[in-house]
Amino acid sequence: MENILVVLPVEQRHRDKLEAAAPGQRFVYTCGAEPTREQILAADIIIGNVPAGPLAAADRLKWLQLNSAGADAYIKPGVLRPGLILTNASGAYGKAVSEHAFAMTLMLTKKLHLYRDAQRQSRWTDYGTVSSLSDAIVLVVGLGDIGLRYARLTKAMGAYVIGVKRRAGACPEGVDELYTTDALFDLLPRADVIMSILPGSAGTYHMYTAAYFDRMKESAVFINCGRGGVVDGAVLYEALTRGKIAAAGIDVTEPEPLPADSPLWQLDNLLITPHVSGFYHLPETFERIVDIAAENLAIYFAGGTVKNIVDFETGYRH
């Protein structure tokens, strides 16, 4: 019998689904509260994100199923034992995060953020010209579930979509051109909108350097709903204040929470949301996370290979 620690805020119907997928196993639920060190050390399987600190000493642990798509806190050297299975919840967040990024894009290209600020000050003002997605070139960096959904949303508006991913392959529906990551620097001058949905890893840390922003159009909009660490806040600040790009929308920052004294808060051409595009704000997301965990439990106890296994080198699922 395996000890399965579930740290998600599950209801009884979720418990029934998980336990039906792994009959005869011992389930321990924290009801969404942070688990104790003792609970972590006693677990053979953990479902949900737990504090990384105790995991190195979790000798019994065989498999960690995350409730997040990002795994950057767990792929750092020394956090998990070699050979331990790490899976993420990729596929659960596509609708929520892509729609959030799409809303940011429309808000910035139509300058709605500026009008909202003016409303707060009771000012009737005209902010001039706007741009349209129907004639735009949209560059999506990271063409997983979220990136592809975003690509298709902008494509439906009439945009020409260029996708960038790690490995070459067939160009998916909703994408006009597909390239690998090593082509990104050369693609930047073409884009009216750059949407980044990259995970946090050694390979993506601060990858959007000043040289990258120098390559972008002065009229470009930059969206980041992946990980805040892909761009240094000082570099983004300079790009926005010196007119290297027109505007940016970010749902992620480095660090998080963004300190109250960060100059980024004061920029009129920057839209900030506090890493809320995902989580469980769209209730469907949580249902999908439970479904992924239940499906993987059934596969695991049937002796199969679980889905969404994370590559410790890249932070992506295999």
Other C-beta atoms within 10 Å of 118: how many? Answer: 15
Task: Please state the φ and ψ torsions of residue 29, each to the nearest 5 degrees.
Answer: -115, 135
Question: What does the DSSP assignment read for 69-110?
Answer: S--TTTSSTTTS-TT-EEE--TTSSHHHHHHHHHHHHHHHHT
Residue 258: CB atoms within 10 A of its CB come to 18
38 counts as catalytic: no
Q: What's the CA gap between 262 and 276, in Å, rounded?
A: 19
Edge-first strand order for the sheet with 63-65 is: 26-29, 3-6, 45-47, 63-65, 85-87
Which pair of structure tokens corresponds to residue 5? Answer: 């620690």
Length of the chain equals: 318
130 in Cβ contact with 75 (< 8 Å): no
Name the catalytic one among 15, 152, 166, 275. 275
Q: Is 15 a catalytic residue?
A: no
Spatial CA neighbour of 137 closest among 221, 66, 215, 213: 221
Cα–Cα distance for residue pair 46/138, rounded to 1 Å: 39
Q: Which of 256, 281, 313, 318 is catalytic?
A: 256
Burial class (CB in 10 A: 0-12, 13-18, 19+), 182: exposed
Q: Locate tokens 């050694």: which residue? A: 202
Catalytic entry in 113, 227, 288, 317: 227
- By the 8 A CB rule, do 63 and 264 touch? no
Show which residues are catalytic: 227, 256, 275
